[in-house]
Chains A and B, each alone.
Chain A
Amino acid sequence: MSRFFTTGSDSESESSLSGEELVTKPVGGNYGKQPLLLSEDEEDTKRVVRSAKDKRFEELTNLIRTIRNAMKIRDVTKCLEEFELLGKAYGKAKSIVDKEGVPRFYIRILADLEDYLNELWEDKEGKKKMNKNNAKALSTLRQKIRKYNRDFESHITNYKQNPEQSADEDAEKNEEDSEGSSDEDEDDEGVSAAAFLKKKSEAPSGESRKFLKKMEDEDEDSEDSEDDEDWDTGSTSSDSDSEEEEGKQTVLASRFLKKAPTTEEDKKAAEKKREDKAKKKHDRKSKRLDEEEEDNEGGEWERVRGGVPLVKEKPKMFAKGTEITHTVVIKKLNEILQARGKKGTDRAAQIELLQLLVQIASENNLGEGVTVKIKFNIIASLYDYNPNLATYMKPEMWQKCLDCINELMDILFANPNIFVGENILEESENLHNADQPLRVRGCILTLVERMDEEFTKIMQNTDPHSQEYVEHLKDEAQVCTIIERVQRYLEEKGTTDEICRIYLRRILHTYYKFDYKAHQRQLTPPEGSSKSEQDQAENEGEDSAVLMERLCKYIYAKDRTDRIRTCAILCHIYHHALHSRWYQARDLMLMSHLQDNIQHADPPVQILYNRTMVQLGICAFRQGLTKDAHNALLDIQSSGRAKELLGQGLLLRSLQERNQEQEKVERRRQVPFHLHINLELLECVYLVSAMLLEIPYMAAHESDARRRMISKQFHHQLRVGERQPLLGPPESMREHVVAASKAMKMGDWKTCHSFIINEKMNGKVWDLFPEADKVRSMLVRKIQEESLRTYLFTYSSVYDSISMETLSDMFELDLPTVHSIISKMIINEELMASLDQPTQTVVMHRTEPTAQQNLALQLAEKLGSLVENNERVFDHKQGTYGGYFRDQKDGYRKNEGYMRRGGYRQQQSQTAY
């Protein structure tokens, strides 16, 4: 209150308001024109009326407003720009400022801005989040404002010490207070403000009326303009408004002041002025309240979201009192859906709208048909939420999606009279006629398939070693339940095609899981365990094997698209192999003839095929069928691209070869981590089976010039091992295998065994098998057998005869096994020996050529080719220049003789054994 009076009493430059109020000079120049202008268009008048000072100050206030807005949205770049403009504008206004003193609002913005910047500067977190431009602008602005503020130091400190007096809001508050007090004053005088107003409006004083009118108009105008500004810039704040107004008000006031002396006495004029002010303040106060309300309701909201949803939100609510019927809801739904896919549509808002619509529909008991219809659309728009294929759903969206589908399924199960299908036309839908079965357009199967794909995408895009992945993986159960429910639903209502598709989904979620329960049941015979427990376990669900069998068989029988059947077969084989049903798996693989035409399939199916082959190989290995294991794994392992072929990662090497697009496609093909096959296990299985095959083979064909390699990769590993300058104890899996191979070459099965099966290898490989101990014992036996074979191949030339008992002791195999192995070798003509039954010994025949004999044979062969070449030379000579080289014929005869000798040699070397 004091302020009001102080402004009236003396002209302190400290407060901008009071300063303004008392300034009359600039207006004075216009005074003469005033009457003329009044008659003109009001807007024009308003503009012209402004003084230079007003203009400058308005400029400043506008800028300040923008800065404040920029501060609010933390747009430091904008702040910087505006601040620079402000500085310029201030420079322009210098002359006025010199007269008037520094305007309060100016000091205020400087102080605030500095505080704000310091605050930002301190907020390390926020700074990190800022984009580069903003961060740069921040540091620049901070420096600038520091420098700039040095000139205003005293003012700012003053402001800071006494913010109540200076701050505008406070000032306004003061004004309000003062208003109250002025009212009181007026009361004292016996005139209430309202009465005053009334009186005034009644007063016939033309000028005052005119003034009033004008003032009102102006208020209106300013309000309008404010509104406009609101819409245009969308960034006006209420307090700056008031500031502006204040500016205007003072203009009016001053004008009034100017005029007053001509018609009324000083005192009255002062009074009137006060009254006017009071009235205006009243107006303004109410207006401001309105504005504030508006701000709270619309303004703020609008600034965040952008205009569109605001427009939409209103219609959605349905005009009050509208009767909510099917048609209205459907209309609304269509209205919402029309925005779908359009640019600029807020997808999140759309989803919300749809959800609200569902609520409304259910509140109004519109029947399940409508709900189902809307649900379908919600799920669809959930899928639409991501703009492209590469990105995956956010967890909350995903959760929403799952819930939604579950609810949808609930409804569908609860209302068997609802027909859902993608082939139901929009027109023939029946959403509410309860007499007939409800028909809704939409395909639950597609939704579920899409959901499954989304799930895969989420899994692909989550770091497999994080807790997050585990969290996501927990949803897998939910996905499975949903698929199961849909399956049940479709089994009742769907076509065979649809059933096949949903079966495939089910299969895809089943085939890679090891069925521990079934495994346990198998291990413990039914009579061993307590009956109740058994039943319980059985009730929990059928064996996945049975399930797979049932689903796959259905697909085999009913499917008409090749792809689904192929996938089903592969999954079936995989499942068989995973559960060690080797013969079923192998037979299925062979019967399907997939190996012949898999290269024509699309990449995901090929990846599935590769996975199946690998699983088959590992299965064969577990069964001790090393040869089958080796053959199955050969294709995958020999390329050295197992990782890529199994869809378990991209190779860095070929990164340059493909472009961005291809890489994206390949990334989408990746198999989620929980389906991965352990690559080290794979390689180890391959190498060990290669070792078991290759080492005896190498021993058998040591001196054979044309021996082929069984496994290139294994040989590669051996060579790598040989190249090591210093052989330490093996570390990696490969080194273990190489070391074991070396031991095996010498027939030293114990060392070989200790290299293949030990702590390290157990941890790395063997423990990963479901029946690790069984595999290990199989492996030991294999090593013993193959070592025995290797030993016999390598050292048979040293023995005349060897007792089988000795062999049995050496390799810790029982006698019949040794017997059978040796018999097999003899039958296959790998070992030239015979068994002497009474003494249980192997008698060597020594018909194998010795090293020298082998060499001689090779030499003879080479000489043969040499002679052939030589003859060709001579044929040439003879053919063309028969007579010319006659004397060379001697050489030819010699060659003939030589050849004979060669032939003789061959005979000799043949008779040698």
Chain B
Amino acid sequence: MASRKEGTGSAATSSSSTTGAAGKGKGKGGSGDSAVKQVQIDGLVVLKIIKHYQEEGQGTEVVQGVLLGLVVEDRLEITNCFPFPQHTEDDADFDEVQYQMEMMRSLRHVNIDHLHVGWYQSTYYGSFVTRALLDSQFSYQHAIEESVVLIYDPIKTAQGSLSLKAYRLTPKLMEVCKEKDFSPEALKKGNITFEHMFEEVPIVIKNSHLINVLMWELEKKSAVADKHELLSLASSNHLGKTLQLLMDRVDEMSQDIVKYNTYMRNTSKQQQQKHQYQQRRQQENMQRQSRGEPPLPEEDLSKLFKPHQPPARMDSLLIAGQINTYCQNIKEFTAQNLGKLFMAQALQEYNN
């Protein structure tokens, strides 16, 4: 606890402010009834996450780790973290729980917060809305209510703006997940759409005053060129990749819909058959009645017409959610780029 640096002022670094603000706006709707309203991250944690990815993650591979901290009122303070080792095939019997427990015990010995408050994961072009993430976040949130997942986008970060976002599952989704029923009806009943699956929690990065002072000083000393990453005009690669991924998701979505379509057709066909059968039965019974015979015994219709297994809709929901994230990303990215382009144009004109 002593290691936690209490900052008095609002000490978010300039770079994170934009994402933080953006996140805040979006997260507003969902976080109303949530236990956590704000996530305050220590600078150390951010650096550790970045370092972890830098050292171990490359390409589409993701890195994961555990967040440690405390809950203060409706604010989740993340003060430290530790990485999970990369999964390799030789140590299949690696016990994660054991590892976590040992790690936390050791950290406790050196007086670090040892409360498990969530986990972090890196992402490749913003593709993180997956079944695996949902499952693990559900188990976290199920065990510790305040848990969050921090998503770190290294590619965006490399372009000059730190991209770190905290997500939580909405209470609605939590309920559905508890039921473990992803049939269309259950999802409808739970009133879950792709927009209401995850809620984003606003992030504040907090540093000690001393660090802030150092930052200012560094900023003054750094050359202009160091800050030019943000102004990079080369956008095509990033945009292309995102589009490609988006397209893949759309394809998946298409397939999913086709699957659902078949199901619908089959069900309706069955319903019709069922209906006809019932009518015939009724007619026969009427005839029997008129002849004074006892009606035919009732038969179990569900045995005659086995209902088709409805396809699980969770996957398509997740895909939709992912598509949504991609779209947000693209939107954000293009908006920024447009700004940059206008700026460049203005500069060009000014120079000429």
Q: Which residues of A contact B (CB under 8 A)?
A: 850-852, 855-856, 858-859, 862-863, 865-866, 869-870, 872-873, 876-877, 879-880
Q: Which residues of B contact A (CB under 8 A)?
A: 236, 239-240, 243-244, 246-247, 250-251, 253-254, 257-258, 260-261, 264-265, 268, 271
Are A862 and B264 touching (Cβ within 8 A)?
A: no
Are A852 and B247 touching (Cβ within 8 A)?
A: no
Are B236 and A876 touching (Cβ within 8 A)?
A: no
* Min CB gap B84→A, angstroms: 32
Are B247 and A869 touching (Cβ within 8 A)?
A: no
Q: Once bound together, how far apart are the Cα atoms of A880 and B271, in whole Å?
A: 10
**List of A residues within 8 angstroms of B258 by Cβ:** 869
Are A855 and B244 touching (Cβ within 8 A)?
A: yes
Are A873 and B243 touching (Cβ within 8 A)?
A: no
Closest A residue, CB atoms, query B244: A855
* Min CB gap B304→A, angstroms: 20
* Min CB gap B329→A, angstroms: 14
Are A876 and B265 touching (Cβ within 8 A)?
A: yes
Given A866-B253, A870-B257, A873-B261, CB of A858 within 8 Å of CB of B247? yes
Closest B residue, CB atoms, query A859: B247
Q: Which of B243, B251, B271 contacts A855 (CB 8 A)?
A: B243
**List of A residues within 8 angstroms of B260 by Cβ:** 873
* Min CB gap A128→B, angstroms: 60
Closest A residue, CB atoms, query B265: A876
Are B240 and A862 touching (Cβ within 8 A)?
A: no
Q: Once bound together, how far apart are the Cα atoms of A873 and B267, in whole Å?
A: 12
Given A873-B260, A876-B265, CB of A850 within 8 Å of CB of B254? no
Q: Which of B244, B246, B257, B268 contacts A869 (CB 8 A)?
A: B257
Q: Once bound together, how far apart are the Cα atoms of A863 and B239, in whole Å?
A: 17
Q: Once bound together, how far apart are the Cα atoms of A862 and B236, in whole Å?
A: 20
Given A862-B251, A866-B254, A869-B257, CB of A850 within 8 Å of CB of B236? yes
Q: Which of B240, B251, B254, B271 contacts A851 (CB 8 A)?
A: B240
- What are 22 A-B interface contacts by the 8 Å CB criterion? A850-B236, A852-B243, A855-B240, A859-B243, A859-B246, A859-B250, A862-B250, A862-B251, A862-B254, A863-B250, A865-B254, A866-B253, A866-B257, A869-B258, A869-B261, A872-B261, A873-B257, A873-B260, A873-B264, A876-B264, A876-B265, A876-B268
**List of B residues within 8 angstroms of A865 by Cβ:** 254
Q: Once bound together, how far apart are the Cα atoms of A831 and B268, in whole Å?
A: 53
Closest B residue, CB atoms, query A887: B188
**List of B residues within 8 angstroms of A872 by Cβ:** 261
Q: Once bound together, how far apart are the Cα atoms of A865 and B268, in whole Å?
A: 23
Closest A residue, CB atoms, query B236: A852
Closest 7 CB pairs of A and B: A855-B243, A869-B257, A876-B264, A880-B268, A862-B250, A866-B254, A859-B247
Are B264 and A877 touching (Cβ within 8 A)?
A: yes
**List of B residues within 8 angstroms of A879 by Cβ:** 268
Q: Once bound together, how far apart are the Cα atoms of A428 and B247, in whole Å?
A: 90
Are A856 and B250 touching (Cβ within 8 A)?
A: no
Are A866 and B240 touching (Cβ within 8 A)?
A: no
**List of A residues within 8 angstroms of B243 by Cβ:** 852, 855-856, 859
**List of B residues within 8 angstroms of A863 by Cβ:** 250
Closest B residue, CB atoms, query A873: B261
15 more contacts with CB within 8 A, not counting A852-B243, A866-B257, are A851-B236, A852-B239, A855-B243, A855-B244, A858-B247, A859-B243, A859-B247, A859-B250, A866-B250, A866-B253, A869-B258, A873-B264, A876-B261, A877-B264, A880-B271
Q: Once bound together, how far apart are the Cα atoms of A686 and B240, in whole Å?
A: 37
Closest A residue, CB atoms, query B246: A859
**List of B residues within 8 angstroms of A877 by Cβ:** 264
Closest B residue, CB atoms, query A862: B250
* Min CB gap A885→B, angstroms: 10
Q: Once bound together, how far apart are the Cα atoms of A851 and B241, in whole Å?
A: 10
Closest A residue, CB atoms, query B271: A880
**List of A residues within 8 angstroms of B240 by Cβ:** 851-852, 855
* Min CB gap B246→A, angstroms: 6
* Min CB gap A390→B, angstroms: 58
* Min CB gap B236→A, angstroms: 6
Q: Once bound together, how far apart are the Cα atoms of A855 and B240, in whole Å?
A: 7
The residue among A851, A865, A866 with the most chain B CB atoms within 10 A of its own CB is A866
**List of B residues within 8 angstroms of A859 by Cβ:** 243, 246-247, 250
Closest B residue, CB atoms, query A865: B254
* Min CB gap B252→A, angstroms: 10
* Min CB gap B268→A, angstroms: 5
Q: Which of B247, B261, B265, B268 contacts A862 (CB 8 A)?
A: B247
